[in-house]
Structure 1
Amino acid sequence: MAARRRRRQGERTGEYLASLARHRTPYRFGQAVTRIHGDRAVEAVTVQRIDRDWRPIQGTERTVECDAVALGHGFTPRLEAAIQAGCAISAARFVTVDERQATSTDGVFAAGEVTGIAGADAALAEGAVAGFVAAGGALDDERMRGPLRARRRMHAFAERLATHEIRPGWTAWLDDDTIVCRCESVTRARIEAFSERGVAAVDTSSSRGFRLATRAGLGACQGRTCGRSVEDLVGRPLGLDRRPVLSSLRIGELAACETSPPM
């Protein structure tokens, strides 16, 4: 099954490359969209070369006129369930697990991209290990040879590829009026004004204090979208996405629920 899946992935990659060649669509490495221009709609972008840490290289800017931009940088997992269960989270914002896929919380195992971005095959192998051990099995069991081998292979591949990794130099792309928290329209300038270098009268050392001071992370997503970006800007972990809820729910949605009849 894994071999068929890899073959299909290879076929899809070939189709993508053929489509790019057929339509003469350029594909450039080591470059990024560092500015999007326009008042009421997108009018152009600035494309610029970046170094290994994603810092823009001055003098390499060029403007490309366009009316739409599709932009994405890396991957970050949804950690709400793991955080609510009390699992340890690494500095890279993944659930910490041992070779048995066990977390720091007794009886809780984790598998898939919450433990690291490595693809579907790695997630399947990790899930097989986690399920087997959680059911009382041992890693030296003969039935674990295949999943363990697949996990090692996919983890090694992911380390070589590392396409999900967001490098720290991206913050050099931002202007003071760049919106970081979209829910509350909080700009970079406001975040930096209330960081450790800014207003000392406001306690911004805690997640709650920083939320109240800047309003970053107080919107509908509760910091799930902007939390990591804000932490990169202030240079320290704040735990903006550590609210103990699995998803946001409006009070009106609760009020609209029909009352269940008594049993």
Structure 2
Amino acid sequence: MLTEKSTGLTSTATITMKSTVNVSIGLAKRVSEVKTETNGSLTITYTFTVKNHGNVPLVNVQVSDNLRLAFPAPMDIVARGVVASGSLRGNVSYTGIGDNNLLLAGSTLAVGASETFTMTVNVLPNGSYGTFLNSATATATGSQVGGTTTDVSMNGSNTDPNGNNIPGDPGEDAKTSVIFTREEVRIPEGFSPNGDGINDYLVIENLGKGKIDLEVYNRWGNIVYKDKDYKNTWNGICNTGIYVGKEIPDGTYYYIYKIDGVPGAIKFLTINR
């Protein structure tokens, strides 16, 4: 209410305050599960947390993750799927090499909303070992008001570690790491090729893409099996000598092997059906 003292007249003024539009997205990424496979590869599950830190709804929400930047050649990468729910839509065609978008069109985030989703990938090191770092990037558009927002992922599950509601602050973009350690090739001490589906083959673990030259001998020194590029397919059938195509008897045998041309030790294995 405004009053003019000289005339005594009274007038009313209306003042409209405009709030500041804040279009802001935050992204966090962590390793939630790692499984070591028999071929020496790792099956890695990443969990992503995406949050709307602004005061307007977000549309066109997208998270991109180029796995080749994290795991360079000659490492093999096979994406195993994206699982999303809520207002986010997972891209089932995601490869991490070429198609780097984890979400589909139509993904949204309400004001203050936080959603999580997962991506699983299998990585075969092929002789590459050490610590491998990875980041993802989130983008979105403000609903109706326009404007875009971008954030590089922070390692963990907190999109804004310092709690000031500004996820892009310096230091809030720590990369997510995965460690590949070289494991020794493991050759079992025996197997049981009896057709029951359990231990029917001689399976050499952690070989990766290494080439193994394998020769197996009986106790008299006669070779009963050989393969210059063994692929975990031997089921106790003789493939050389006078008993080709027949099952070798149960018992103890010794073998000689080379991995990529490098000789290994002479060791023993037992066949017990």
**TM bucket by the smaller chain?**
under 0.3
Higher-Rg member (1/2)? 2
Query: Structure with the greater relative contact order (CA < 8 A, sep ≥ 6): 1 or 2?
Result: 2
Instruction: Give 1 or 2: higher helix fraction.
Output: 1
Greater strand content:
2
Normalising by structure 1, we get a TM-score of 0.24
